[in-house]
């Protein structure tokens, strides 16, 4: 038996990727003539402490945002150390161990061990006002990484957020017939809380994911960082921007529901300091399990950076997306005699494919955004940022909002269910199509200062945020009331129905409440000027305190003009000054873990949602006080096994006062009276379990309640749209990853317990359970083929929720994807 000549060399431990995944490389040499080979995965666990002493230095490098001298994807040469190998015979393809030639002529193997990109704790937030990574930010933060979106073949923001517990999609409430991306976070509206690289995206449209690097959900009130809103949290999209690596990638998908999709991702470094990137998408699909629903969209997003790798750099990004789709308001809820709750009609035999719209229903959007982002490292202590965005949003929208009233409900459960007829005029905004044209501008100037005073380290962040949004709508009217249709066998045809030109059928316009009347034009605008400041002080290397505030001056206006002259035009305005503080305590015993306490407040003024007009100013509500929210949260985060697996746990209590309630049939915003509370537990684990086996899992347990209300019957009831339990699991395994017969297969489940659809808890939607799977094969280094299956058991699930109707989710579907990267 040969003697085992075992030596361990730690050449370097470092971490970096453009998307924030951290990689640590350990080199383990072993003589080739030994009898057995030690597997690198157990070795990584045994040597995890080896990089512990290097982590403070790595954290310092990470704060600069600079990449190490040797990128993790390139073969790295061993440093010249006394008595150590002088040459590395690297595998030219970068696979397996590197062969190292010793001085005595023998060869050793240098194994490469990397941390899992599925562990998102090291992901930077990517916002100048939040310069830390997820691990060191004292809030519950969920990240949908690029690798997960690729494995699931994610095609929209909605699909990406299925991986985040506490997110619910809603088709919107009340006036204006909202659609597009309307999300709830922890049960509270987040229509105005979608951001792209830290700047608001004001558009009302369904966002495609072709330009996404990763998606971050920052939970809990965040007005101190983002401004008014963010009761449940904020959604931030980090886009693909130019980097140093030249590459070109493309993919094509096809499958169920006449699905066809192509994407392009091209990056090129023009000079040492200038690089460009172009991403593009074309998409056409119907929806499996729903009649007549389709989406035809395309998008393009070019960007350029000047000063790549320099202390001063400026990135310019342009984004355009056009979409022609059919809006889907789903199926109505009905109540069976003797039942405790109303439920979706599809639970009583109504076909899940039934669509209750007309031939006039359409949702056409065109969205353009131009963004410029400046970063200036003034000196080692101060960095200045200035982010500017201008947006143009155009939309033509017409939807049928169906409802099954008392007569319809009785007929469905009679001996002649075929006589059940629904109304499709809907509530306020339902009968009228409209053309919407908006524009917005926002500028955030900020500075981050890092310095010491004696033994205390400080990080100060301050700046000014100015934004303005303008919304202009032209309401159209039909020549008559839209007829109802059969609940069991609906028809989209309405004989004799016509849509008039502007002002042609003024008397048929929707009668807006509170004396506004039947108006042709609606105009809204709002200006927000905010100033923010925060400081984090490390009173000890292991303990820090962070406190900050934001002051906002909110000035909004709303007008309803034209139309029927018998009602005077309406002109309203509102001004609010808001102050939102935040305090956090953080215990960080090492660079791998943190325990924290966070208290934060947020404010939501009436009329905040200008572009979707869900809460327009009226003579009655213009004087309402804004909603106020408080968050109390205790949490822990731990990046274990050398950053291979990340764990998070948090308990929270979220309280909202002066809750604004929107009537689903009239769109009228009622008095700011209700107090609501949601509290609970959120857990997550993500990363690499063993070599080749990755997993991400989340769980949330919520206890929500209306604690006070003018409607006494609502007190003690569960907050609408908030489930008690919700969980997601996704896992993949790589079989023979560097062999010609390689295979990656995986799958997961998304589960959401049933939720109530109204504050009185009289209507309920059943639980969602969806099983998805994927299998892929890599052809060489550049080509890959993937097959994805969605809702494999064809379960009747429900995605978008409304107070009196729900939208069935996609049925069983399969997508084939062919991709290449050079």
**Domain-by-domain residue ranges, the chain?**
1-114, 141-821
Residues of the chain above pLDDT 70, percent: 80
Write down the pLDDT at residue 627.
Answer: 81
pLDDT band at 100 (very low <50, low <70, confident <90, very high): low
Most distant CA pair in the chain, distance: 103
pLDDT, position 102: 59
Residue 167: its pLDDT value, please?
Answer: 87
pLDDT at residue 198 tops 80: yes
Give the pLDDT confidence score for residue 628 in this predicted structure: 85
| 757, two tokens | 């659809």
Q: Which of 137-141, 225-229, 484-488, 591-595 has the lowest mean pLDDT?
A: 225-229
Average pLDDT over residues 323-334: 92
653: helix, strand or coil: strand
Q: Is the pLDDT of residue 21 over 90?
A: no
Structure confidence at residue 804 as a pLDDT band (50, 70, 90): confident
Output the pLDDT for position 1.
43
pLDDT at 307 over 90: yes
Return the pLDDT at 298. 98
| Pairwise CA distance, residues 64 & 67, whole Å | 9
Please, are residues 166 and 159 in contact by the beta-carbon 8 Å criterion?
no
Under CATH, what is the fold of the domain 141-821? Maltoporin; Chain A (2.40.170)
How far apart, in whole angstroms, are the C-alpha atoms of residue 541 and residue 527? 42
- Pick from 353-357, 555-559, 725-729: least confident: 555-559
Q: Quick check: 607 and 468 in contact, CB under 8 A?
A: no
Give the DSSP letter of residue 158.
H
Q: What is the mean pLDDT of the chain?
A: 83
Tokens of 754: 């049933």
CA atoms within 13 Å, Cβ hemisphere of 667: 25
pTM of the model: 0.83
| Among 24, 6, 11, CA closest to 81 | 11
Q: What is the mean pLDDT of residues 180-191?
A: 82
Q: Which tokens belong to 822?
A: 């050079």
Q: How far apart are CA 188 and CA 177, in angstroms?
A: 19
* 762: enclosing H helix or E strand: none
Residues 207 and 154: beta-carbon distance below 8 Å: no
Going from the C-alpha of 417 to that of each of 341, 345, 348, 420, 741, the distances in angstroms are 20, 12, 11, 6, 56
**pLDDT of amino acid 517:** 84
* pLDDT at position 191: 75
Average pLDDT estimate for 538-543: 96
Lowest mean pLDDT among 94-103, 500-509, 519-528, 680-689: 94-103
Given pLDDT bands bounded at 50, 70 and 90, which one contains residue 62?
A: very low
Question: Higher pLDDT residue, 167 or 682?
Answer: 682
Q: What is the mean pLDDT of residues 746-761?
A: 93
Residue 178: the pLDDT is 53
Most confident of 501-510, 676-685, 800-809: 676-685
- Flag the least confident range among 69-83, 142-156, 455-469: 69-83
Most confident by average pLDDT, 182-191, 229-238, 608-617: 229-238
Helix (H) or strand (E) holding 160: helix 157-160
753 contacts 727 by C-beta, under 8 angstroms: no
Q: Is residue 61 predicted with pLDDT exceeding 70?
A: no
Statement: residue 101 has pLDDT above 50: yes
Under the banding of pLDDT at 50, 70 and 90, the label for residue 817 is very high
Confidence of residue 33 (pLDDT cuts 50, 70, 90): very low
Give mean pLDDT, residues 211-236.
88
At residue 163, the pLDDT reads 93
Find the mean pLDDT for residues 695-700: 95
pLDDT category at 704 given cuts 50, 70, 90 is: very high
pLDDT at 767: 95
Closest listed residue to residue 235, CA positions, set 190, 202, 205, 188: 190
Residue 398 tokens, joined: 């017409």
Query: What proportions of the chain, in percent to the nearest 5, are helix, strand and coil?
Result: 10, 50, 45
**How does residue 616 score in pLDDT terms, banded at 50, 70 and 90?**
low
CA-to-CA distance for 98 and 528, rounded, in angstroms?
A: 57
Three-state DSSP state, 150: helix
Average pLDDT over every residue of 60-88: 35
Work out the pLDDT band at 50, boundaries 50, 70, 90: very low
214-219 mean pLDDT: 94
Residue 192, token pair as written in the block? 């105005």
Determine the pLDDT at residue 329.
Answer: 86
- pLDDT at residue 667 is higher than 90: no
């Amino acid at each position: 038996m040969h003697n085992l000549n075992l030596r361990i060399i730690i050449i370097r431990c470092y971490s970096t990727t453009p998307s924030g995944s951290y990689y640590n490389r350990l080199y383990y040499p072993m003589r080739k003539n030994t009898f057995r080979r030690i597997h690198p995965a157990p070795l990584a666990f045994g040597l995890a402490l080896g990089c512990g002493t290097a982590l403070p230095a790595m954290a310092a490098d990470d704060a600069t945002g600079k990449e190490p001298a040797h990128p993790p994807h390139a073969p790295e040469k061993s440093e010249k150390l006394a008595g150590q190998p002088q040459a590395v015979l690297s595998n030219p393809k970068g696979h397996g161990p590197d062969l190292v030639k010793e001085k005595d002529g023998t060869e050793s193997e240098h194994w490469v061990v990397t941390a899992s990109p599925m562990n998102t704790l090291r992901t930077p937030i990517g916002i100048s006002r939040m310069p830390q990574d997820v691990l060191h930010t004292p809030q519950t933060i969920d990240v949908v990484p690029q690798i997960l979106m690729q494995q699931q073949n994610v095609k929209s923001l909605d699909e990406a957020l299925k991986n985040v517990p506490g997110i619910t999609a809603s088709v919107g409430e009340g006036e204006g017939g909202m659609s597009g991306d309307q999300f709830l976070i922890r049960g509270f509206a987040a229509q105005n809380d979608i951001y792209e690289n830290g700047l608001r995206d004001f558009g009302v449209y369904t966002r495609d994911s072709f330009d996404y690097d990763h998606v971050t959900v920052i939970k809990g009130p965040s007005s101190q960082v983002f401004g008014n809103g963010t009761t449940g949290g904020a959604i931030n999209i980090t886009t693909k921007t130019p980097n140093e690596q030249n590459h070109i990638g493309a993919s094509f998908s096809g499958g169920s529901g006449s699905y066809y999709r192509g994407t392009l991702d091209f990056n090129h470094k023009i000079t040492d300091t200038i690089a460009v990137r172009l991403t593009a998408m074309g998409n056409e699909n119907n929806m499996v399990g729903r009649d007549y629903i389709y989406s035809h969209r395309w998008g393009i997003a070019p960007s350029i950076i000047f000063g790549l790798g320099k202390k001063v750099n400026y990135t310019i990004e342009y984004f355009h997306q056009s979409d022609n789709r059919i809006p889907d308001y789903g199926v109505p809820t009905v109540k069976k005699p003797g039942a405790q709750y109303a439920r979706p009609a599809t639970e009583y035999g109504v076909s899940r494919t039934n669509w209750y719209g007309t031939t006039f229903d359409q949702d056409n959007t065109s969205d353009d955004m131009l963004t410029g982002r400046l970063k200036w490292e003034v000196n080692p202590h101060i960095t200045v940022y200035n982010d500017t965005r201008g947006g143009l949003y155009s939309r033509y929208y017409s939807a049928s909002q169906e409802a099954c009233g008392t007569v319809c409900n009785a007929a469905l459960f009679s001996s002649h269910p075929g006589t059940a007829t629904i109304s499709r005029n809907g509530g306020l905004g339902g009968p009228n199509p409209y053309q919407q044209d908006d524009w917005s501008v926002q500028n955030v100037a900020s500075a981050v200062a890092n310095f010491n005073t004696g033994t205390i380290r400080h990080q100060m962040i301050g700046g000014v945020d100015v934004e303005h949004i303008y919304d202009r709508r032209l309401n159209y009217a039909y020549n008559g009331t839209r007829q109802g249709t059969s609940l069991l066998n609906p028809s989209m045809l309405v004989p004799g129905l016509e849509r008039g030109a502007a002002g042609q059928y003024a008397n048929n316009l929707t009668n807006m409440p509170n004396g506004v009347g039947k108006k042709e034009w609606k105009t809204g605008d709002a200006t927000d000027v905010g100033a923010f400041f925060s400081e984090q002080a490390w009173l000890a290397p292991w303990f820090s305190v962070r406190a900050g505030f934001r002051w906002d001056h909110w000035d909004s206006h709303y007008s309803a003009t034209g139309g029927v002259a018998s009602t005077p035009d309406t002109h309203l305005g509102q001004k609010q000054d808001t102050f939102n503080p935040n305090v956090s305590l953080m215990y960080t015993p090492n660079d791998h873990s943190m325990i924290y306490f966070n208290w934060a407040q947020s404010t939501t003024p009436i009329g905040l949602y200008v572009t979707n007009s869900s809460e327009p100013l009226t003579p009655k509500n213009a004087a309402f006080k804004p909603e106020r929210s408080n968050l109390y949260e205790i949490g822990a985060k731990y990046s274990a096994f050398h950053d291979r697996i990340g764990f998070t746990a948090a308990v929270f209590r979220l309280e909202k006062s002066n809750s604004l309630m929107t009537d689903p049939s009239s769109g009228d915003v009622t008095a700011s009276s209700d107090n609501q509370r949601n509290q609970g537990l959120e857990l997550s684990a993500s990363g690499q379990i063993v070599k080749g086996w990755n997993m991400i899992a989340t769980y949330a347990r919520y206890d929500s309640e209306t604690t006070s209300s003018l409607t006494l019957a609502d007190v003690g009831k569960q907050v609408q749209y908030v489930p008690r339990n919700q969980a997601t699991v996704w896992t993949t395994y790589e079989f023979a990853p560097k062999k010609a017969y390689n295979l990656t297969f995986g799958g997961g489940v998304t589960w959401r317990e049933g939720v109530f659809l109204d504050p009185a808890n009289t209507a309920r939607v059943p639980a969602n359970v969806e099983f998805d799977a994927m299998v892929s094969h890599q052809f060489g280094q550049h080509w890959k083929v993937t097959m994805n299956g969605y809702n494999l058991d064809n379960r009747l699930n429900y995605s978008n929720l409304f107070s009196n109707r729900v939208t069935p989710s996609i049925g069983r579907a399969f997508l084939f994807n062919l991709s290449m990267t050079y």
